[in-house]
Amino acid sequence: MQNFSDLLAITKHGDLIRKILAAVLFALSCQVALANELQGRIVGVSDGDTITVLDAKNQQHKVRLAGIDAPEKSQAFGQASKKQLSELVFGKAVVVEWQKLDRYGRVVGKVLLDGFDVCLEQIRKGMAWHYKKYAGDQSAGDRQTYAAIEAEAREARLGLWIDESPEPPWDYRHRGRSK
């Protein structure tokens, strides 16, 4: 016997084994797709899309708000975005639904305050963009809602949308790296 497929070929129950393996793999993939949950109190706001959550074990977790990108602190509306987020969540208990860590080791998650979507509120107030580059990480419903709320904020010229053509933070960061 050279490999697993040879074993399946000679096993009279190969079809049954394949079905069982398929079911196990499907169940495992469903487990991976489920969001993890982090609960805690906000003890820091770094900018308009990054917070620090202190959990029940007194461990701090840096959290990048999923689905949005806020202006950098040195960018127009950067300080206003940070202030808006701080006023909304600082010192309060939140639940973070997350599925991954970013390249900096931060939890990337949807932040809920009493069931209220904090990420979406940053967009609604004109303090962040819907981060379409990572929209594939969102549910279809969140993708549609975030895009629609961004369009409404843009139309109403709220926050950063008061400028004719605000520079997205991803362009600002890229421009800074290319200097």
Give me the pLDDT at residue 152, please.
Answer: 98
Active site residues: 64, 72, 106
In the chain, domain spans: 4-33, 36-177
Give alpha helix (H) positions in the chain: 4-10, 14-33, 78-89, 118-124, 140-156, 169-177
Cα separation, 64 vs 96, whole angstroms: 10
Annotate 87-106 with DSSP letters as a single string: HHHTT-EEEEEEEEE-TTS-
Q: How many CA atoms lie within 13 A of 58 on its CB side?
A: 0
Which tens digits make up the pLDDT trace of 18-58? Answer: 666 554 444 444 444 457 999 999 999 999 999 999 999 99
| pLDDT tens digit sequence for 139-159 | 999 999 999 999 999 999 999
Higher pLDDT, 14 or 145: 145
Q: Biggest alpha carbon distance in the chain? A: 70
Mean pLDDT along residues 68-77: 96
pLDDT of res. 6:
56
Of 3 and 73, the one with more pLDDT:
73
Query: Backbone phi, then psi, for 77, in 5-degree steps?
Result: 70, 5
CA distances from 81 to 122, 158, 160, 166 (A): 8, 12, 9, 14
Q: Tell me the average pLDDT across 6-22.
A: 55
pTM: 0.79
**Cβ 82 vs Cβ 38: under 8 Å:** no
Q: Determine the Cα–Cα distance for residues 44 and 65; give it in Å rounded to an integer.
A: 13
Query: Tokens in use for 122?
Result: 């940053």
Lowest mean pLDDT segment, chosen from 2-11, 52-61, 151-160, 169-178: 2-11
Fold that domain 36-177 belongs to in CATH:
OB fold (Dihydrolipoamide Acetyltransferase, E2P) (2.40.50)
> Distance (Å, rounded) from C-alpha 76 to C-alpha 96?
28
Mean pLDDT of 60-79: 97
Q: And the tokens for 55?
A: 């959990």
Residue 3 has pLDDT above 80, yes or no: no
